[in-house]
C-alpha cells in the first residue's frame, strides 16, 4: 500500500524539501559571499538523480480481496452525532446569550478622574 499526500507520493515531497533547502543555502551563501551554495546544489542534484534511478516498489495489485470491517463504526457515528449536537447547542447558546443580548446605555452625569 502506498502512502499518498494530495495524490502525490512521499518521494516527490522528499525531493522538493531537498531542493528547497539547497536553494535556501544557495541564497544564504550569496549573502555571505561563500561558495557553499554551488556545492549544495551539486549534492542535491546527485541525490535527486539517485532517487530517480532507484526502482520503485512493485505496483502489482493483490489478487486476494480481503474485506476489512470496521468494528468501531457505530461508536464513531455515535461520537460524531454527540459532537454535532453539542456544537449546535453551543452555537445556539452563544447566539442567544452572547450576541443577541441587549446592552442598554447609561447616561454619564459626572466625570471621575
pLDDT tens digits along 82-108: 999 999 998 888 888 877 777 788 887
CB 63 within 8 A of CB 74: no
Could you tell me what percent of the chain has a pLDDT over 90? Answer: 12
Cell of 34: 561563500
**Stretch (H or E) spanning 25:** helix 10-32
Q: Given this model, what pLDDT does residue 82 score?
A: 93
> Considering just the CA atoms, what is the radius of gyration of the chain in Å?
30
Amino acid at each position: 500500500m502506498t502512502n499518498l499526500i494530495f495524490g502525490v507520493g512521499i518521494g516527490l515531497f522528499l525531493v522538493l524539501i531537498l531542493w528547497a533547502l539547497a536553494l535556501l543555502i544557495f541564497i544564504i551563501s550569496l549573502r555571505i559571499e561563500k561558495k557553499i551554495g554551488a556545492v549544495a546544489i551539486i549534492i542535491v542534484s546527485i541525490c535527486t538523480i539517485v532517487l530517480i534511478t532507484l526502482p520503485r516498489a512493485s505496483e502489482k495489485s493483490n489478487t486476494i480481496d480481503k474485506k476489512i470491517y470496521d468494528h468501531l463504526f457505530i461508536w464513531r457515528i455515535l461520537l460524531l452525532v454527540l459532537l454535532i449536537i453539542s456544537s449546535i447547542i453551543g452555537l445556539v447558546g452563544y447566539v442567544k446569550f452572547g450576541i443577541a443580548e441587549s446592552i442598554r446605555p447609561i447616561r454619564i452625569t459626572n466625570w471621575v478622574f
